[in-house]
């Protein structure tokens, strides 16, 4: 079992992540996200035959991932645009 770390011993470098997201339209690439931080949660999706196929990627400390996911889940602006349309009641 390793002993206590020496006070002047260098800390191992923390991993950092860079996430770049492109919008692809008519053969053009437009960067819509270019972010570097200590963690990330990202999802991509495609619709094939009326079925959403999604992939999720994440990295970083679990506590930070949970915080990012909670922020996404509680984002009022994001959620306002992704609520299912409701039929008017009579």
Residue pair 61/69 in contact by the 8 Å Cβ criterion: no
Residue pair 36/15 in contact by the 8 Å Cβ criterion: no
Residue pair 21/31 in contact by the 8 Å Cβ criterion: yes
Task: List, for the chain, all residue ranges whose pLDDT scores fall below the cut of 50.
Answer: none
pLDDT of amino acid 89: 61
Spatial separation of the C-alpha atoms in residues 41 and 21, rounded to whole Å:
13
State the residue for tokens 């999604």: 54
pLDDT of amino acid 79: 63
pLDDT of amino acid 1: 63
pLDDT of amino acid 22: 92
Could you report the per-residue pLDDT of 41-66, keeping only the tens digit for each? 888 889 999 998 999 898 999 998 88
Spatial separation of the C-alpha atoms in residues 63 and 59, rounded to whole Å:
11
pLDDT of amino acid 25: 94
pLDDT of amino acid 5: 65
pLDDT of amino acid 72: 81
CB atoms within 10 A of CB 41: 19
């Amino acid at each position: 079992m390793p002993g206590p770390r020496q006070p002047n011993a260098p800390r191992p470098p923390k991993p950092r992540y860079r996430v770049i997201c492109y919008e692809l339209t008519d053969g053009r690439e437009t960067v819509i996200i270019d972010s570097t931080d200590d963690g990330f949660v990202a999802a991509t999706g495609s619709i094939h035959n009326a079925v959403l196929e999604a992939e999720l990627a994440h990295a970083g400390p679990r506590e930070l991932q949970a915080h990012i996911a909670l922020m996404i889940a509680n984002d009022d602006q994001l959620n306002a645009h992704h609520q299912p349309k409701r039929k008017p009641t009579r």
